[in-house]
Amino acid sequence: MINRVLIRLKVVQILYAYYQNEGKSLEAAEKELFYSLSKAYDLYHYLLLLMVEVTRFADRRIDNRRNKLRPTEEDLNPNTRFIDNAFMAQLAQNKQLEEYSNNQKRTWEDEGEFIKRLFAAIEETKAYQEYMSKDALTYEDDRELWRKLYRSLIAQNEQIDEILEEQSLYWNDDKAIVDTFVLKTIKRFEPENGADQELMPEYRDEMDTEFARKLFRNAIVGAEPYRKMIAENTKNWDMERIAFMDVLIMQVALAEMFSFPSIPVSVTLNEYVEIAKMYSTPKSASFINGMLDTIVNKLKEEGKLNKA
């Protein structure tokens, strides 16, 4: 699940913290990097559990209405399609998700008011209303409902962002990326897999783990020559006038260019320009793009940048 987009983002974040906290060893900073990445994987599970908790709330609400002192006909004979959703039943029974929940002891039970508001919003959606009124439903209908609900009400939800920020500082910037993996997970579910349906692994393979470690270490170890390259190619700019975050982003980008011959320069440039859009000044993206392009062209002319 933890892909290289997220790894690059985390490397820049932890590198910034490394320089702000003078005296921290490279080993301690590297440990923090991998802890930060593991928290993103926690968030992945936590967002899956959110969907389960919303369904449980809906189930409890039906029971409460049935047990009212004077229940209506609708209270006694409710439409249970939402709580009977086959995809959600499969997710709620998933062995990996259950194991995570038991080990981490992390639930949405303390966010009752938010869950209530979220379900009320779900009831107002066109996707929910069409789903509840269909003549017949398939597993694909059940799965598609939650894909639509997640995209419209969970992926873009400031209240969720606030809740997550209170729980972990590491989650501040992770959700947008993790949302994409939750949506991929929903799409990958197949009924025949039952409770054994595989969730996404923390890392695709050991190569991504090594990518994170090598990129972070080389960005620090090679800081001096990388910053020298930046200084030599700043036209009419004093290094002290360049935003510190801009320097760090270019430093990590150069570390990637020199450390991974198989990654095309264009890929590296695009990735760090996108990071600049998120973390630095409004003009940083175009500035960093122009700077790195100038440095790359010069390195190629001098035969100092070898790519596969």
CATH number, domain at 265?
1.10.940.10
Inside any domain, residue 12: yes
Question: Contact, 210 vs 33, CB < 8 A?
Answer: no
Those residues whose C-beta lies under 8 Å from the C-beta of residue 62, and which sit 6 or more positions away, are 78, 80, 83
Q: How far apart are CA 139 and CA 150, in angstroms?
A: 17
192 and 233 fall within a common domain: no
- Compute the CA torsion angle 121, 126, 131, 132 (nearest 10 deg): 60
What integer pLDDT is reported at residue 104 of this predicted model? 86
Pair (88, 136) in one structural domain: yes
Quick one: pLDDT at residue 47?
97
Among all chains, which residue has been given the structure tokens 């000044």? 281
CA angle 15, 16, 19 (to 5 degrees): 85
Which pLDDT belongs to residue 307? 77
Residues 192 and 83 in one domain: yes
pLDDT at 240: 64
**Residues sharing a CB contact under 8 Å with residue 304, sequence separation 6 or more, in sequence order:** none
Amino acid at 80: T
Pair (190, 234) in one structural domain: no
Using the CB atoms, write b or e for 81-91: b if 16+ within 10 Å: bbbebbbbbbb
Domain with 253 in it = 222-301
Task: State whether 283 and 157 are in the same domain.
Answer: no
In a domain, 216, yes or no: no
Please check whether residue 258 lies inside any domain of the structure. Answer: yes
Supply the pLDDT for residue 239.
Answer: 63
Q: What is the DSSP letter of 83?
A: T
- The span from the CA of 122 to the CA of 279, in Å, is 33
Contacts of 219 (CB under 8 A, 6+ apart): 11, 15, 226, 251, 252, 255
Q: Is residue 171 part of a domain?
A: yes
Is 62 within the bounds of a domain?
A: yes
Shared domain for 166 and 242, answered yes or no, is: no
Same domain, 167 and 264: no
21 within domain boundaries:
yes
Tokens 């596969």 correspond to 308
Unique residue bearing structure tokens 């979220």: 118
Rounded CA separation 100/42 (Å): 8
pLDDT value at position 291? 92
* Residue 192 and residue 55 in one domain: yes
Q: Does some domain include residue 215?
A: no
Token reading at 234: 């700043």
Same domain, 68 and 126: yes
**Whether residue 76 sits in one domain with residue 190:** yes
Q: How far apart are CA 157 and CA 172, in angstroms?
A: 13
Q: For helices 244-259 and 4-20, give the axis angle rounded to 10 degrees.
A: 130
Three-state DSSP state, 80:
coil
Q: Which amino acid is at 105?
A: K
> Using CA atoms, how far apart are residues 109 and 133, in angstroms rounded to an integer?
30
Task: Please report whether residue 306 resides in a domain.
Answer: no
Same structural domain for residues 273 and 125? no
User: What 8-state DSSP symbol labels residue 65?
Assistant: H
Q: Are residues 247 and 187 in the same domain?
A: no
Provide the 3-class DSSP secondary structure of residue 291: helix
Each of the 308 residues of the chain gets a pLDDT tens digit; together they read 899 999 999 999 999 999 998 778 999 999 999 999 999 999 999 999 999 999 999 999 999 989 888 888 887 889 999 999 999 999 999 999 999 999 988 889 899 999 999 999 999 999 999 999 999 999 999 999 999 999 999 998 999 999 999 988 888 789 999 999 999 999 999 999 999 999 999 998 899 999 999 999 999 999 999 999 998 887 666 666 678 999 999 999 999 999 999 999 999 999 999 999 988 888 899 999 999 999 999 999 998 888 76
What DSSP string runs through 171-217?
A: GTTTHHHHHHHHHHHHHH--GGGGGG-----SBSSHHHHHHHHHHHH
Count structural domains, the chain: 2
